Amino acid sequence: MDKYKALTSQGAAAYLNTLEEIGWFSFPHNNKAKISEHLFGISSSEYFFYVLSHIVRDAEGFEEGSDYKELFEEMAALSGVNVVAAEFEYEMIGFGEDELTGTVVTENGNYNCELGELMGWLDADFIEGFVNEEVLPGEGIEGRFFMLPATDQMAQYTYATQEVYDKAIAVGLLPDDAEYFMSGFDQ
């Protein structure tokens, strides 16, 4: 039995205690009472990881700059980035040739985003490459956004330090495979 199944099979109380043990509630955006209420309301323990979601979006339908701007502003607020201005432009040129360009100005710096071949879906490079690898390090912020296992076309991210995220994987709070729930989908 894998670590995630082993932990979740012990029930919501064990899952909540393990969150406490790794320091999940030491971050101000992780409210223990709200997470507990949500956790005990989940009918199937295989979906306990949902309580770790900070950002949830339908990954389909990212066809305007405003979609990316709204997502970026939510991520900036959660991570503590002080945004002065943020603009994103999405241009559909042809099938598979769409482009996203953007500029973010913060109190500490300027950041430019250029992505192509988005096809109307949330591009993981926006979060992995732009937010996690450019903006957050540029702002001196330790936390990062980590994609949670996919269960459908929803994109779910948690915000944590690398150390706490690694602990969550190690103790079974999260499956160690991003395709955990999708592995048998194509069969």
Q: Is residue 73 part of a domain?
A: yes
Number of C-beta neighbours around residue 128 at 10 A: 14
Look over the chain and give the mean of its residue pLDDT values, rounded to a whole number: 91
Q: Which residue has the tokens 């779910």?
A: 156
pTM, full prediction: 0.90
User: Which domain does 126 fall in, by range?
Assistant: 60-141
Q: Do 134 and 82 share a domain, yes or no?
A: yes
Q: Residues 186, 170: contact at Cβ < 8 Å? A: no
State CA 113 to chain mean position distance: 18
Cβ contacts of 33 within 8 Å, gap of 6 or more: none
The secondary structure element, H or E, covering residue 160 is strand 154-160
Q: What is the pLDDT of residues 42-70, one digit of tens each?
A: 999 989 999 999 999 998 878 889 999 99
Q: Is residue 184 part of a domain?
A: no
Among candidate residues 147, 150, 168, the one with its CA nearest the CA of residue 158 = 147
Among candidate residues 132, 128, 126, 124, the one with its CA nearest the CA of residue 113 = 126
Q: Is residue 30 part of a domain?
A: yes
Name 60's bridge partners. 121
What pLDDT sits at residue 1? 59
One digit per residue, pLDDT tens: the chain, 187 residues?
599 999 999 999 999 999 999 999 999 999 999 999 999 999 999 899 999 999 999 988 788 899 999 999 999 999 999 999 999 998 877 666 788 999 999 999 999 999 987 777 888 899 999 999 999 999 999 999 999 987 778 889 999 999 999 999 999 999 887 777 766 545 4
Q: Do 17 and 74 share a domain, yes or no?
A: no
Q: Cα separation of 50 and 174, whole Å?
A: 10
Q: Is residue 107 part of a domain?
A: yes
Q: Do 79 and 100 share a domain, yes or no?
A: yes
